[in-house]
Amino acid sequence: MTEKFIKNEQLNFIKTQITLIKDSVRKNLPPTVLAAVIDLANAKILDLIPNASLDQQKMLDLSKLKSDDEYEQYVQRLSDFLRPFPRVTEQQLKKMFPKNKKLKLPDLSQIDHSQLTYLSWNDLGSNKKFIVYELEGTMAGIECKLTPTSKKNICSFCNGFGEVAYFSTVTKAKKSKNPDYYKAIGNLICTDSSECNKKITNVEYLTTFLKDSLGM
């Protein structure tokens, strides 16, 4: 039995590649073109986890799959090897936000950690959003101001189109010549973080945002 080696966003990316292949099949593309689409998708999937073992590489390889049922079984098998989001306790979360004395926490027992890239929850009473993510091996959290929007738009984290909210945070960046200097960062992200976690395929922007916010 191989270890759990696939992250939530990586499985989401794999699903998008399978959707691309299925769409190409429905378009009745010439065999050579369809083969190229499958080869490219397979190469991108194998590149997701460069340190994968031979057994893991074989598991990721979809080049020989043909039917919808085979693709479905493929995704189901990979789901068994999802690496869950690290378990955090209420006490750990409180330590991440020490200045917030009235911190409202989510019900951790109701969260499916296997389908999380990042943990987030909204406190509508204070118009705040909290984000927790494993950054360079350490759990890190930021608190943001949340402003609802009336229009659908593109989420900065998952690049999906849907219900979004504007959220902003003040970074910890400092300038020695100006002790009062601060920099605010704002983004549009999914109002419902569980939906965002279902669509996110890349964490580059998420990690950059967190590092900028934390002054790393």
Q: What are phi and psi of 64, to 5 degrees?
A: -100, 0
- The pTM of this model reads 0.90
Task: Please give the pLDDT value at position 173.
Answer: 57
**CA 171, chain centre distance (Å):** 21
140-169 tens-digit pLDDT: 999 999 998 888 999 999 999 999 999 888
How high is the pLDDT of residue 213? 86
- Give the model confidence (pLDDT) of 166-188 as tens digits: 988 877 655 555 555 566 788 89
In tens, the pLDDT along 11-47 reads 999 999 999 999 999 998 999 999 999 999 999 999 9
Mean pLDDT over 45-52 rounds to 94
Confidence class for position 195, pLDDT limits 50, 70, 90: very high
In one-letter notation, the amino acid at residue 95 is: K
By C-alpha distance, which of 29, 58, 26, 28 is closest to 45? Answer: 58
